[in-house]
Amino acid sequence: MSMESVYQYVDDHVEDAVQLLERLVQQPSVSAQNWGIQEMAELCVEILNEEGIDAQLLELGDAPPLVVGKAAGVSPRRLMMYNHYDVQPTDPIELWESDPFTPTRRDGNLYGRGASDNKGDLAVRICALRALRAANGELPVGVTFMLEGEEESGSPHLPALMAEYGHHFAADAGLLEAGGTNREGQPVLTLGVKGLLYLELHCRTTNSDSHSATAAVIPSPAWRLNWALSSLKAPDETVLIEGFYDGVRDWWEDEIEALRAMPADDQKQLKEKGLKAYLDNVSGLEYRKRLYGRPTCNICGIETGYTGPGLKTVLPAEAKAKLDFRLVPDQRPEDILDKLRRHLDAGGFTDIEIHPIAAHEAPVRVSLQDPFVKFCAQTAEEFYGKKALLTPNTAGTMGTSAMTDVLPYSMIFAPGGAGYWGSSVHAPNEHIRIADLADAIKYHTFLLTRFAGTTF
């Protein structure tokens, strides 16, 4: 089937795509703050139904609704496309140059929270279906949308939602959040995600704040927490929790080859971050092995005492830290949680409470030899005219294990996302380049068209 008329439609309707994305961005949907989630889910159903994609909310207790949207195709082949309609919080809000929920066009970009992650991808995929139908009157394959409402909060309800509603998502393969092309224009496929264990450490020593003059005799939760944290990771970045690295498997040979084939874009990112060097001054292959393959223990935030302007001489009653552990095959989050508790107890930190937040996410990695991986690589190379980069793992996390535990097909990140490497995802001034939209939509039309001919 010729793509020419489809691509022409896409080129003629970029403005429609921008307006669809603006409509998605201007509805706040911060899952961490339960802000606009229900409204956003309903807006997604409304938009999908407007597009002739049969959509509904799948609800379960107080979980943010899962949205399912189905469209039939000529071929019995069916592709699942996962996106999430929630976004990260916006703080530090003062660093945004325009309101995060007022989509703003500036210098050829569209700014707004979620413009890239992940409302941009959703807009692209809807527009791909629209273009195929406009040009051909039908879709080449069946498509099932899965839109989750709390990916940015660690997908705490996704395992339960999958257990209840997994049967809605039968398909032959799945596309996760869309990736894109790298700075050299090569299409990027990512085959794995790290796991995530997110938790808070709490320490309370007294029932109210004390005058800091009593610091000679009253135990400080801020110091206790500080010492406990220092016991978790050494200044050389080694995680000190006993057995933390037990489950980590080495990179396979084909994975190392894939890592080696990736371009060295780490030096450009250094400059963007205002950094002199990465940890241990890594670069090139070592940088990638570390970024994509090393488990982490990160402090997302610490809250204790007085942090306003000037001086307050206080000994806080309580101290809290938010930590995230990014895990790699074959670590298991529940195992790391157990080991953390044992580590704190063994170090005398029985006064430090652990409060897990969100569901545990296990690491997932699809083999480089998987037929869907090979299909996606081939279509991407054909479309973009450059060799595909197969990234064995992303540095980030998704609730993929909740899906792969229930759904029997392979899911990977393929290109065609709205964003690019400079989109400031999870940061102030998130944006996409409007000029990128047409190619992203076209790639999805091409992939769906070719998917009709697959047999795996």
305-364: contacts with a second copy (CB under 8 A): 305-316, 319-320, 322, 324, 326, 348, 357-358
Stretch that binds a second copy, among 41-49, 101-109, 242-250, 426-434 (CB under 8 A): 426-434
- Of positions 23, 60, 89, 374, contacts a second copy by CB under 8 A: 89
> Minimal distance in Å, beta carbon 397 to a second copy?
7
Single residue of 210, 331, 400, 401 touching a second copy by CB under 8 A? 210
How far from each other are the two terminal CA atoms of the chain, in whole angstroms?
21
Q: How far is the CB of 95 from a second copy (least distance, A)?
A: 7
Three-class SS state of 373: helix
Region near a second copy per CB under 8 A, out of 5-13, 161-169, 178-186, 424-432: 424-432
Sign of the Cα pseudo-torsion (101, 105, 110, 111, in order): negative
CA distances from 266 to 271, 274, 281, 413, 429 (A): 9, 12, 11, 21, 22
Look up residue 61 and give its DSSP letter.
Answer: T
Among 54, 164, 266, 353, binds a second copy (CB under 8 A): 266
Applying the rule CB under 8 A, the residues between 367 and 406 that interact with a second copy are 394-397
Whichever of 146 and 425 has its CB closer to a second copy, that residue is 425
Q: Looking at beta carbons only, is 170 or 213 nearer to a second copy?
A: 213
Q: Which helix (H) or strand (E) holds 80?
A: strand 78-84
**What's the DSSP call for residue 363?**
-
Tell me the DSSP string of 435-452.
GGHHHHHHHHHHHHHHHT
Find the binder of a second copy among 26, 38, 226, 454 (CB under 8 A). 226
190 binds a second copy (CB under 8 A): no
Q: At 384, which helix (H) or strand (E)?
A: helix 371-384
- Evaluated on CA atoms 206, 212, 215, 220, the torsion sign reads positive
Between 267 and 306, how does the x/- string for binding to a second copy read (CB under 8 A)? ------xxx--xx--x----x--xx--xxxxxxxxxxxxx
| 201 beta partners | 321, 354
Between 136 and 190, CB nearer to a second copy: 190
Beta carbon of residue 9, minimum distance to a second copy (angstroms, whole number)? 35
Q: Rounded to an integer, what distance in angstroms lies between the CA atom of residue 217 and that of residue 204?
A: 15
Q: Does 206 bind a second copy (CB under 8 A)?
A: yes
